[in-house]
Structure 1
Amino acid sequence: MTFHVRLPMSSPVAQQNATYILQMIRPFPNMMTRKDTLPPFIHHSLGSTDSGLAFPEPLANCMSIARMFVWRTSETREFVWETIWSEQRKLADKAASYTPEDLLASLQACNIYVIMRMVDYSPEHAEKDLETMLWCYRISDRLINSLDGEFGVSEHDRPNQMWKDWIFVESQRRYLSVWFLLTRLISMRTGIGCPYVDAYLSLPLPAPRSLWEAASAEAWKAEYDCTYTTPELPRLRTFGELVEAQKPTNYTQFMHKLDLWNADADSLGMMLTLATAIMK
């Protein structure tokens, strides 16, 4: 049983886009080594006094592991992977007692560990890879159940007026987007279907870069009001709308929304735009 196998793409354009997305995702473990360069689904304000949000233990441990992973050698490689698997088992054992915030941090760390395996694949560890996927699904289910249907709700449908609350909800949406990209680009042959893939059209799109990268609550509030309380600036809301907007026959209808999306999108948004070719 293999863990990561490139999915067959429907066209050369889709295949090329898949390659671009993989190239953008592969550096995430490197980005995880410093708080100043966190991947685009983990918020920069974690651990700062500005937001009042702690840097969760699962992410702190993931950062330490990422440093070991990036600087691994042939002599330390096995030790690094034993450390990763041990951390995953610990997170799985503690999942039942975690708060929603810690559960989300566990899932964010899971994404990094899966990408690490994609970067440093080893066929002799198939059983451990299956354990990784079972852990990811178990933690995902725990988080979704704890949120009582709040997981992945679009900001347009249920706005958040506090920066701290918004960061948590937007981080959920961004985690889900990255997990969706991984499951679309990589065939994880574990015999387990991914429930998110079937519902990809309803995935809420991540917020604009100016909101996600706001340096303070005041800067965020100004950008938030501009983004969500300006009716003359209609925006794309879901990945399904982005797919429809990219179709040549719909370009005129969605042109203004696409312009807004492309003007505001960060690297995660660009990956989702590339992914529309894969879904056609």
Structure 2
Amino acid sequence: MKTTRYANSRQKACQQCSAAKAKCDRKPTGCSRCSQRNISCVYPQVAHSRSQTPSQSEANPQSPESLPDMLTLSSGSRLSTHGGDEWAHAISRAQPMSEREYVNVNTNTAPVPVEHRLNQTPATSEDAGLDFSNLDLFCPINVDEITTRWMNPYIPVPGQHIKQYPAGVSAFIFRTLKSYTAIAARGRRILPFIHHTQISGSPVGSPLTTCLSLIRICETSLPGSEATAMMMIQREMQNIIESSTGYDDLCLLGAFQAYLIYCLVLFFRLDPGTTTHLRPAMMSLQTLAHLSSKQGLICMADQQRTRPRWEEWIVTDIKRRTLYVMYLFDSVLSAQEDVPTFLGTELSGIPAAASKSLWQAPTRSIWEREYNIHLAEWTEKGLTIDELWPIPEDMDEPSIAKRRRRVDHWLEDIDEFGTMLYAVTVCTHGG
């Protein structure tokens, strides 16, 4: 397809400024905006025209001879690939993917049925203009309690409630999170706490994009290469922490997700069952959760019973889902260390996972239609996560009946992630 007369002008801004709809001074060595934020400045490549010869367009980019000595990651970090030609070749396969490639990366596997993804397709021109600036959000909880959660088993706090997970529930959480690790490494599906617009819209070099590319080496690594993979992942985790103060809200959210995925990969795949190096990592992960949550967990429009912008809703539901996965992972680590896990009362009042219709809506217009239906059906606020917790002893029968009706309503249209949350809570606390 020929490039249009607008193609060059549209590609002058770097990926990061383009995603943020910000002015870019387009310095060849890196724009000023990216330099101030200490993030990688990447300029998009100009698409080739049909006049390109087959020998040019079909050259094998993955041959070991064409690999650079260093693998460039986000925020300017560079990791050595001198672990041998086989290891370098495995790394060369870890390239950023489009949403379609992410879902159907294995051509020998049948694509996910369309009906299972609400006719989800890669972002269309309608959604190419997603604007994540000026989000009207607020945080209704004390996020400082997220940062200090790791201290709960060691320093008693009034009002703490130990979660007595039955053995079957603990095994269920363990196997579910382990499956998330396999999903991430294989790239056949989108993780349930990553929104499809992040796959198609995250700029090259962002923490999440780097993560989804880097962890693919875990699927193709050779025996004995686990130590090298661990070194690379741990170095990227350190890079995220060092760069987090310069991230904007959207990049910080991606960093939170990426750091959680790295922790899952380390625990379930590269160093199974070992928590020695993961407890400090969990402290850093909870700090990232605190910083991201502080920017807002609920849309202001939701409080006014009006429809928020799609971008606002996407960001808040991603944050909440990622938080819930982090809390479940914390319970797995606590079980491994034989320390108690406490009910996350600091999350009380924030919404539970949203409906399948809203989460999987492929376009803005479909999401707006579904949200209008949501507002009509939920005349009061939507279900909150604490409504899945133990029923208070002082709650009267009419209130208990009302609560159960709300949970039943929520169960009518939840995806597999919501089903998992319900299974964990109902088998632990009853309902």
| Largest Rg, 1 or 2 | 2
Distance 1:182 1:74 in 2: 27
Whether 2:232 is the aligned partner of 1:78: answer no
Whether 2:329 is the aligned partner of 1:175: answer no
Structure 1 regions of 5+ residues with no counterpart? 1-7
Q: 2:249 aligns with which of 100, 114, 133?
A: 100
Distance 2:225 2:257 in 1: 24
Instruction: Please give the secondary structure, in 2, of the residue aligned with 1:161.
Output: coil
Query: Per the alignment, do residues 203 and 184 of structure 1 end up closer, same or farther by CA in structure 2, a change over 3 Å counting?
Result: farther
Distance 1:160 1:96 in 2: 31
Whether 2:291 is the aligned partner of 1:142: answer yes
Q: Is the 8 A contact 1:202 1:238 kept in 2?
A: yes
Query: Per the alignment, do residues 237 and 56 of structure 1 end up closer, same or farther by CA in structure 2, a change over 3 Å counting?
Result: farther
Q: 2:357 aligns with which of 210, 215, 218?
A: 210
Query: Per the alignment, do residues 194 and 209 of structure 1 end up closer, same or farther by CA in structure 2, a change over 3 Å counting?
Result: same
Distance 2:341 2:293 in 1: 14
Distance 1:222 1:153 in 2: 18
Whether 2:428 is the aligned partner of 1:278: answer yes
Equivalent residue, structure 2, for 1:10: 164
Q: Is the 8 A contact 1:25 1:115 kept in 2?
A: yes
> What's the offset of the Cα at 1:42?
0.7
User: What amino acid maps onto 2:319 in structure 1?
Assistant: Q
Whether 2:236 is the aligned partner of 1:87: answer yes
Q: Is the 8 A contact 1:31 1:39 kept in 2?
A: yes
User: What amino acid maps onto 1:63 in structure 2?
Assistant: L
Q: 1:220 aligns with which of 355, 359, 367?
A: 367
Distance 1:34 1:123 in 2: 21
Distance 2:252 2:282 in 1: 16
Q: String of CA shifts for 1:82-103, please: whole Å, max 9, x gaps.
A: 0110100111111110111111
Distance 1:211 1:181 in 2: 23
> What's the offset of the Cα at 1:210?
0.8
Q: Is the 8 A contact 1:21 1:274 kept in 2?
A: no
Whether 2:258 is the aligned partner of 1:109: answer yes
> What's the offset of the Cα at 1:9?
7.0
User: What amino acid maps onto 1:173 in structure 2?
Assistant: R
**Percentage identity across paired residues of the two chains:** 20
State the number of aligned residues.
261
Query: Per the alignment, do residues 238 and 153 of structure 1 end up closer, same or farther by CA in structure 2, a change over 3 Å counting?
Result: farther
Whether 2:331 is the aligned partner of 1:184: answer yes
> What's the offset of the Cα at 1:37?
1.5
Whether 2:406 is the aligned partner of 1:257: answer yes
RMSD: 3.5
Question: Which structure carries more helix by proportion?
Answer: 1
Distance 2:180 2:360 in 1: 17
Whether 2:351 is the aligned partner of 1:199: answer no
Distance 1:34 1:101 in 2: 25
Distance 2:244 2:341 in 1: 20
User: What amino acid maps onto 1:10 in structure 2?
Assistant: Q
Q: Is the 8 A contact 2:207 2:255 kept in 1?
A: yes
Query: Per the alignment, do residues 73 and 279 of structure 1 end up closer, same or farther by CA in structure 2, a change over 3 Å counting?
Result: farther
User: What amino acid maps onto 1:227 in structure 2?
Assistant: H
Query: Per the alignment, do residues 206 and 122 of structure 1 end up closer, same or farther by CA in structure 2, a change over 3 Å counting?
Result: closer
> What's the offset of the Cα at 1:65?
2.2
Q: Is the 8 A contact 1:235 1:261 kept in 2?
A: no
Query: Per the alignment, do residues 114 and 279 of structure 1 end up closer, same or farther by CA in structure 2, a change over 3 Å counting?
Result: farther
Moved more, 199-208 or 237-246: 237-246
Whether 2:190 is the aligned partner of 1:38: answer yes
Instruction: Please give the secondary structure, in 2, of the residue aligned with 1:268.
Output: helix
| TM-score, scaled to structure 1 | 0.78
Equivalent residue, structure 1, for 2:310: 163
Higher relative contact order by CA 8 Å / sep ≥ 6: 1 or 2?
Answer: 1
Detail structure 1 runs of 4+ shifted over 6 Å in the superposition. 192-196
User: What amino acid maps onto 2:354 in structure 1?
Assistant: A
Equivalent residue, structure 2, for 1:4: none
Equivalent residue, structure 2, for 1:25: 177
User: What amino acid maps onto 2:164 in structure 1?
Assistant: S
Whether 2:392 is the aligned partner of 1:242: answer no
Q: Is the 8 A contact 1:183 1:197 kept in 2?
A: no
User: What amino acid maps onto 1:197 in structure 2?
Assistant: G
Distance 1:237 1:40 in 2: 19
Q: String of CA shifts for 1:22-68, please: whole Å, max 9, x gaps.
A: 222212123224776211111011253xxx66477111111122211
User: What amino acid maps onto 2:428 in structure 1?
Assistant: I
Query: Per the alignment, do residues 77 and 36 of structure 1 end up closer, same or farther by CA in structure 2, a change over 3 Å counting?
Result: closer
Q: Is the 8 A contact 1:211 1:224 kept in 2?
A: yes
Q: Is the 8 A contact 1:15 1:278 kept in 2?
A: no
